[in-house]
Amino acid sequence: MMRDQEPSSEAWKKMVLRSMPKPAWLASGAPEEDVVVSSRCRMARCIKGHLYPSVAPDDDLIEVQKAAEAVGVKIGLTAKQSLSPAEHDYLLSSRMISPEFNCDDPGRSLLTHEQRKISIMVNEEDHLRIQVLAPGYAIDDAEREADETTTAFGEDLEFLHNEALGFLTASPYNAGPGKRRSVLVHLIALAHQRKLNGVLAALGAYNITARGLFGESSKAVGAFFQISTIRGRADEIKGACEYLIAQERKAREEVHPAELSQRTLQAARFAIEQHKLSLADALRVLSWVRWARAVRAPGWKGSSREVDAWIAQMEVYGTVNQDAAARHRAEFVRARLEGRDIPQDDA
């Protein structure tokens, strides 16, 4: 399918469900899932004897691709060298690929685990971007599996390494351990209570950065934040997470359930009435629904985890164009809110 062709919304959904199993990080019953959506560990590695992807010719990229795929298949991963628009958008909204990664470019591959816990982008910014995503607050699990996967690749591939600098990467900022730990948190109550800026400012003591839902180039819409560290210790991000979880829960307790229910109702009605929805508006609406469900606000049945799945299934940057994506987004959100768990007004 070409990107300038517009599939029907229903065809898009069927395509996604057929081709893309649910990512492992959406598992229910995850630790601290009311506040923490998922945990991730990302490893950046470059292979000795090859140019960085941004300057490498196609034949060099393809050589790296073949070597990486051989190791991936050996350890039980599946390689894809092309993605349909729907697959690309779903993987992006599931945070298994970056906005900059185009699997259709020469020498690019995506290696994935059967349970969609591991995803490896071949020839993105670095030769290997190894990601492990775990459900809820499980940074230790994600890091352990990322270390094991990286070690497996290192047995067959020689990584660029300097005794003084550590692992060498395309960006000097990532050099050294080549590891980024991150946790996706939902800080809606802190944002609503106008306490978010102060709380995020306190993260500086932990050497922590806060980014948007889809990484460095995205804004933190809907109060979803990726908090991450590259050079800090594991206990620093754990301390930051525990601080954020406690502050968010405290802020949630300060909002009366009836007020939350009514605010969420207003947001849901806004979405239902729209024929087009921007990504920012859709995330803001679903953020309220997620909060209401997480704390069991009056009339808001269902789990917050289901809302996480909606966000992963919803069109992000669009399978075809922004106008079509906005229509599909509105249809998608309306279908999940209209007539399901919208509480009635007391009047």
Q: What is the DSSP string of 152-187?
A: HHHTTSPBPEETTTEE--SSGGGTBT-EEEEEEEE-
Cα separation, 142 vs 131, whole angstroms:
8
Lowest mean pLDDT among 1-10, 41-50, 109-118: 1-10
Q: At 345, is the pLDDT very low, low, confident or very high (cuts 50, 70, 90)?
A: low
Q: At 193, is the pLDDT very low, low, confident or very high (cuts 50, 70, 90)?
A: very high
Look up residue 17 and give its two tokens.
């469900």
Diameter of the chain measured on Cα atoms:
72
- pLDDT of residue 6 exceeding 60, the answer is no
Mean pLDDT of 149-156: 97
- pLDDT of residue 320 exceeding 80, the answer is no
**pLDDT value of position 171:** 92
**Nearest 5°: phi and psi at 36?**
-100, 120
Mean pLDDT of 37-51: 97
Lowest mean pLDDT among 17-26, 149-158, 197-206, 337-346: 337-346
**pLDDT value of position 14:** 57
Q: Tell me: the pLDDT tens digits for 199-256?
A: 888 887 777 888 877 655 456 788 999 998 877 677 888 888 999 999 999 999 999 9
**pLDDT value of position 137:** 96
Cα separation, 23 vs 118, whole angstroms:
9
- pLDDT of residue 5 exceeding 60, the answer is no
- pLDDT of residue 79 exceeding 80, the answer is yes
208, 228 contact by CB (below 8 A): yes
The contacts of residue 15 (CB under 8 Å, 6+ apart) are 7, 84, 86, 87
DSSP string, 6-59: ---HHHHHHHHHHH-PPPGGG-SS-TTTTTEEEEEEEEEE-BTTS--TTT--HH
The 3-state DSSP class for residue 299 equals coil
User: pLDDT > 90: what percent of the chain?
Assistant: 65
| Strands of the 224-229 sheet, one edge to the other | 78-80, 109-112, 118-122, 128-135, 36-45, 179-186, 224-229, 209-211
The contacts of residue 336 (CB under 8 Å, 6+ apart) are 310
Lowest mean pLDDT among 4-8, 101-105, 158-162, 190-194: 4-8
Residue of 177, 186, 163, 180 lying closest to 241 (CA atoms)? 186
Q: At 318, is the pLDDT very low, low, confident or very high (cuts 50, 70, 90)?
A: low
For the chain, the average pLDDT equals 88
122, 109 contact by CB (below 8 A): yes
Q: At 283, is the pLDDT very low, low, confident or very high (cuts 50, 70, 90)?
A: very high
**pLDDT value of position 149:** 97
Lowest mean pLDDT among 73-77, 120-124, 232-236, 293-297: 232-236
**pLDDT value of position 97:** 92
Mean pLDDT of 275-295: 95
- The verdict on pTM exceeding 0.75 is yes
**pLDDT value of position 219:** 62
Question: Tokens 């953020």 correspond to what residue?
Answer: 287
CA atoms within 13 A on the CB side of 219: 7
